[in-house]
Amino acid sequence: MKLNGELIHDLNLHEQTQTVKRPDGSIAPQVKDRPPRGHIGFQELSRNGGQVQIRGAEILVLD
């Protein structure tokens, strides 16, 4: 995957088998076993009660 002409990801998600823990400590499904389509969410990670605003977000379908 490239962003502004710069390579930021070069991996095959079907090969990702690492174990990932959720914030509650439970084990999430491996990336390779997750559905290829679904909902997209934005997580707010601001501190001190600030707000995050997202402008001009675009979603590109990758096949």
Residue 19 resides in a domain = yes
Give the pLDDT band of residue 63 (cuts 50, 70, 90): low
Q: Which residues, listed in sequence order, are joined to residue 3 by a DSSP beta bridge? A: 6
Distance between CA 27 and CA 38 in Å, rounded? 20
Residue 42 resides in a domain = no
Residue 26 resides in a domain = yes
Residue 23 resides in a domain = yes
One-letter amino acid for residue 10 of the chain: D
Residue 29 resides in a domain = yes
Q: Which domain holds residue 29?
A: 2-33
Number of domains comprising the chain? 1
Question: pLDDT digit string (tens) for 15-42?
Answer: 988 988 998 999 999 988 988 788 887 7
Residue 60 resides in a domain = no
pTM, entire model? 0.47
Instruction: Give the N- to C-terminal CA distance of the chain in Å, as an integer.
Output: 12
**Three-state SS at 58:** coil
- Is 60 a residue whose pLDDT tops 90? no
